[in-house]
Structure 1
């Protein structure tokens, strides 16, 4: 099954007591492993990677709990546990419904477990990388648990900083727990990057408005920003503007929820809508072609001067506008 169906079982309290979690998203596998094993007064035995021992695992599920009324076994590994072992451990759970067994497979052989337990009550769940909206919702839920007041727009900004890595974005939330007010993008730039005066969005706006930008690039790179990341963020920004452009030409007015997948502040929607209409579709095509070609040059050759490529690309960018 997939995440959506599994979430319904959690909501309806119709879960099995043995689980095989696998797929492309390590974050979601670990997130649900933690969720399923968080049972009060349970005796939990965890094996990580090469620690797995079948006899110890079997003994844990077969014995009476020393601390509560439930025994929980968690195996987390990139290596596949032998199928016979898994079937035996699952059988112990079917015999005793108080037991819980969670096998979190972190490897990349996803075909093995897709239908491997169809004859048992075990829930085998495949997790794909979360889409943007799903990632924002997950971080929003965790932020509420941590009493961090942050809206979806700022969460998106945080995700962009970490190249959509949910784990890294969540780790940053603890920095904002002392805030009494809502976390802004400026707060994120200051605490996460230490760039209180300049960020990539401001650089992009200067480039688009044909203003001088070299000092901004220098400031960003001196603070540890990578040229490739600056370039990919510019590409993402231009893609958003193109999406605004298309939507407005078809529908007459922008709708951030439909364009971006989340509600953005009104001033942001207004700004991007106005910028998006400055350029024709052919210009967007040329800009994307320029940016992607520059990214390829940066990534394909060792020892290349990435800063020089970035600067020359942004000059060419402005000439296309």
Structure 2
């Protein structure tokens, strides 16, 4: 099932199934929903067992294996607490036979809860990850468990989540400020959550100057800064190096640049067809007024042919980065130089 169905069928009714598999593209949402599950279960510390990543042993020794440990924790009632709640976080699948044995053992103990967070490792092929998820989904469904898949939320869904975060943090903030932070942090919910937590320490209604002081003031270089530097024909090397040092991959930078220019192209195209610009229809949300003005202005600085050439350069650079022997910084710099030459 998907996030909304999980919310409606279970969380809204304060019900938690005994066995839950959480997986998908959004690591943040997987972790966020674990917290929501815990708020309903309200486990005592002695009821809770956490097994994270390398702590799950794949040893062939049956007495030391992670599978045997899970069977013991989930299948046996404790003398010291009424429930057994196990949270398992892994980036590799549990073999079908092992998982079947774990869930079969758990079914014998009605006072146990098993929450399995299965993350998509960066070096794991997407198709292989999807196959692993499908295989484990079948095992969970065959043992009265459920599976919940999380996608990266679109802007409209993100706003719902941001409002929920704000309520959780007792943060008084208007939607327009939430959207401004969303845009500033390129929709990264984990960073945005940290920003909201920082703002909540003010313990009052948030104003525009709070965002500019606490968030803009410490914001790192963003891909949007890089794109704006392209328009202004400034030296992009410094920003590019900062992005790479902060952990951005070459491919994510190319995709970010493409998203920026696609937004401009959509703004340009909509304006030509309708004679005016409606960002709610173009982007699916209303960005802050200064961003609307910026997009409207920049979109008209390029022709349809220039947009086409930019997308061709980005596609070529992305494919080049997929080559094993490609030099990331050099390839990105060549890409930026080619784009600036198009303006």
What band does the TM-score fall into relative to the shorter chain? 0.7 to 0.9
Distance 1:259 1:82 in 2: 45
Question: Which of 80, 83, 88 in structure 2 is aligned with 1:66?
Answer: 80
8 Å contact kept, 2:237–2:333: no
Q: Distance in 1 between matches of 2:253 and 2:87?
A: 41
Match 1:138 to one of 140, 154, 161: 161
Contact 1:140 1:155 in 2 (8 A): no
Distance 1:308 1:127 in 2: 34
Structure 2: how far apart are the matches of 1:35 and 1:146?
A: 13
Q: Deviations over 1:286-321 (max 9, x none)?
A: 232244445666775338646863663354132xxx
2:239 counterpart of 1:220: yes
Query: Is the alpha carbon distance of 1:234 and 1:60 closer, same or farther for their aligned partners in structure 2, counting shifts above 3 Å?
Result: closer
Partners of 1:3 and 1:127 within 8 A in 2? yes
- 1:165, CA displacement in angstroms? 4.6
User: Closer, same or farther in 2 for the Cα pair 1:279/1:31, shift >3 Å?
Assistant: same
Tell me the residue number matched to 2:42.
Answer: 40
Please tell me whether the aligned partners of residues 73 and 86 of structure 2 are also in contact (alpha carbons under 8 angstroms): yes
Give me the whole-angstrom Cα distance separating, in 2, the residues matched to 1:54 and 1:60.
10
Q: Once the 2 structures are TM-superposed, how far is the Cα of residue 264 of structure 1 from its aligned partner?
A: 1.3
- Identify if the C-alpha distance between structure 1 residues 251 and 121 changes in structure 2 by more than 3 Å, giving closer, same or farther: farther
Runs (4+) of structure 1 exceeding 6 A deviation are: none
1:51 equivalent in structure 2: 55
Q: How does 1:117-156 map to 2 (within 5 A)?
A: 117-135=140-158, 137-147=160-170, 149=173, 150-156=177-183
TM-score, normalized by length of structure 2? Answer: 0.70
> Which digits, 9 at most, give the CA deviation of each residue in 1:68-108, with x for residues without a partner?
x4321222223433545544544555455442222223362
Q: Is the 8 A contact 1:19 1:102 kept in 2?
A: yes
Is the CA contact (8 Å cut-off) linking 1:79 and 1:105 kept in structure 2?
Answer: yes
For residues 167 and 71 of structure 1, the distance between their equivalents in structure 2, rounded to whole angstroms, comes to 29
1:1-321 aligned at under 5 Å gives the runs 1-9=1-9, 10-38=11-39, 39-42=41-44, 43-52=47-56, 53-61=66-74, 62-64=76-78, 66-67=80-81, 69-91=82-104, 93-106=106-119, 108=129, 109-135=132-158, 137-147=160-170, 149=173, 150-158=177-185, 160=186, 165-179=188-202, 181-182=206-207, 183-184=210-211, 187-193=214-220, 201=224, 204-205=227-228, 207-208=230-231, 211=232, 213-214=234-235, 217=236, 220=239, 224-226=242-244, 233-293=256-316, 301-302=326-327, 305=330, 309=334, 312-318=337-343
Q: In structure 2, do the counterparts of structure 1 residues 152 and 97 end up closer, same or farther at CA, with 3 Å as the change threshold?
A: farther
How far the C-alpha of 1:185 sits from its partner, in A, is 6.1
Which consecutive residues of structure 1, in runs of 5 or more, have no partner in the other structure? Answer: none
Give me the whole-angstrom Cα distance separating, in 2, the residues matched to 1:288 and 1:130.
24
Bigger mean CA deviation after superposition, 109-118 or 175-184? 175-184
Deviations, residues 226-252 of structure 1 (Å, cap 9, x unaligned): 495776544332211111122233344
Q: CA deviation at 1:254?
A: 2.3
Where structure 2 has 5 or more consecutive residues not aligned to the other structure, the ranges are 57-65, 121-128
CA distance 1:30–1:309, shift in 2 (3 Å): same
Contact 1:20 1:102 in 2 (8 A): yes
